[in-house]
Structure 1
Amino acid sequence: MTRPHASSTSSPTASPTAAVASAPPTPGRAAGGNPANRYDRLTVVPEDDGWDPGEAPPPLRTETRIERPRTAITRNSSPDLPFDRSVNPYRGCEHGCIYCFARPSHAWLGLSPGLDFESRLIARPEAPRLLAEELSRRGYRPATLAIGTNTDPYQPIERTHRVMRGLLEVLRDFRHPVAVVTKGALIERDLDLLAELAELELVRVGISVTTLDRDLSRRLEPRAPAPERRLQTIERLAAAGVPVRAMVAPVIPGLTDPELEAILSRTRDAGAVAASWIMLRLPLEVEPLFRDWLAENCPDRAERVMARLCEIHGGKAYRSGWGHRMRGAGPHADMIAQRFRLATARLGLAVTQPGLSTELFRVPPRAGDQLSLF
């Protein structure tokens, strides 16, 4: 049983049918199906009706809907995060990373964190206008704005919708500091804006590299750029004067953690000036999705990976407590942290990036405004 996908420009609403509990693996997608989200009252289970068409199902097309939000800036007070404000250009992510901690957010829309998260996307084209309005409000105080902390702002649909490009233009005009996180090579399209912001010490970029194994990356992150393409993106950003932080994220114990030092070395050689790491997180619906992916793609290592995760999270696949969720605890987590410290010190990546400037912030004049004489 498959759910039809078609192009749409309506605002997102709750799915009219319950999510499919499981389905055959879909080419080009990481999730194996559409498990019910935690808010669904009903679960639909596919049943063999005896009619075997003898052919593979058609490719699952990406659907994009339009959301008209009331605000652009989202605030947070998490002690685990180095920022208190962010903007999300999109909901859902076509990169389709099976481990993405943002998958459960799709349940708020009445959609599944499975294939729906990868293929039923939400664009927010009015975000740049709303951001400009919020930055113009009397009493606004600038601080670094984070973009890409939930879903990737440079996922494929950015080519068409250009929401991220619009946000950068607003931030450039206001001379507002911004930190961008992405896997997307499409960020190179905006090198003109990023270089302009970098010259004023108003931007830094984090590029996520999970693995250097091309085949593993294609299965983990089916529509994200290949590892070598991300290294090339680091090179091009660095050449344009944009400071880049290499993000070894997430570290998957028993699967990608042996690559930690190699990833740091390759990203340093590409031009990264700092580095960070985050342990794999499996909140809510992500855990069963990841377990199914392991069983399908790495059956020989599935038991070991989950055993390591449970060791790191005190007997559970994931614990969300402050100060714990990003790193975990115990001998294996400590070993990864120590390896990271030693490698970054050896490679010159054990640096704290300087804060971005807030002193240049200004509200640009609008048409009809009287300009100052001074």
Structure 2
Amino acid sequence: MAKIPATIVTGFLGAGKTTLIRNMLQNANGKRIALIINEFGDLGVDGDILKGCGDETCTDDDVMELSNGCICCTVAEDFVPTMEKLLARDLPPDHIVIETSGLALPQPLVRAFNWPGLSTRVTVDGVVTVVDGKAVSEGRFAHDTAAVDRQRAMDDNLDHETPLSELFDDQIACADMIVVNKSDLLGEEESDHLSAVLKAESRAGVQVIKTTMGVLPVEVLLGQNLAAETDVEARHEVHHHHHADEDDDHHHDHDEFESFVVTTGEIADPKAYAEKVADLIRQHDILRLKGFATVAGKPLRLTLQAVGPRIETYFDKPIDGPRETRLVVIGETGLDREAIIAGLAP
């Protein structure tokens, strides 16, 4: 029996993974796709957005969420049982898509496909790493080797890169395809240069593709047929070397990040509130902010997603619960929660 292909979609917080997947679902061409979503934080925003895809090939039952921690740290407890549940269905999916949290390392997840019970039934079609082209071009997750070497010479305590850079490097090292998203925010020369740099830093044969709003043909994203789980050593972590069969108390800088949910009341003016949120993000260096807002007098909920100070808002579906605003805030450890909560008040 042919193995069911699975595509792993990884990338840093706010790179555009959910947008990419939503577009894929809306253009699935009849392919039955099941999703496993791994959120970082307590509010299942990505899963809720994807459940609203409205496509008969991807029903609510086809979207499974893992929110008990980073997927690369909970392979045995969460991921494997979820996969087994999918595979046990009377009508298994044609393809499985796994969206990791922005903090997950893809390598342990690829190794998990060699576990007994999975290895004979499912295979990793490919690993897609989504990159925020604008952020990376500005050097926020790129590594300046010369600058670090100069700092090392002056400070013996500085012996590694920042956690964000390490994570970015590991996601690139594991990729079969790198999607440079938000390329519309870059000039042609800048975009071409970034693509060339990413191609040079990735493994031989890795595709680097530019896109805007995650729009790519399903045929490009799926059907790579690479059996990535058989090529794990070539995808080694650049900075981390824990394995799925190691002790559960391993660490890889997840304590460098924190998240919390803020619940407030209705907002009056979506545009003014978005500007207020953008200012708050700048003040507190918030990495990612996402969730849903209720606008006074409006029957539809407002979806709000922010990557740094860049904010996207849109009305998506009727409000079916309390008329409140719930936002998840994600940032590096040390956020001033009280100030942020106060700043998000309507």
Same fold (TM over 0.5): no
TM-score range relative to shorter protein:
0.3 to 0.5
Q: Which has the higher contact order (CA 8 A, sep 6+)?
A: 2
Q: State the TM-score, normalized to the length of structure 2.
A: 0.34
**Which has the higher Rg, Structure 1 or Structure 2?**
1
Greater share of strand residues, 1 or 2? 2
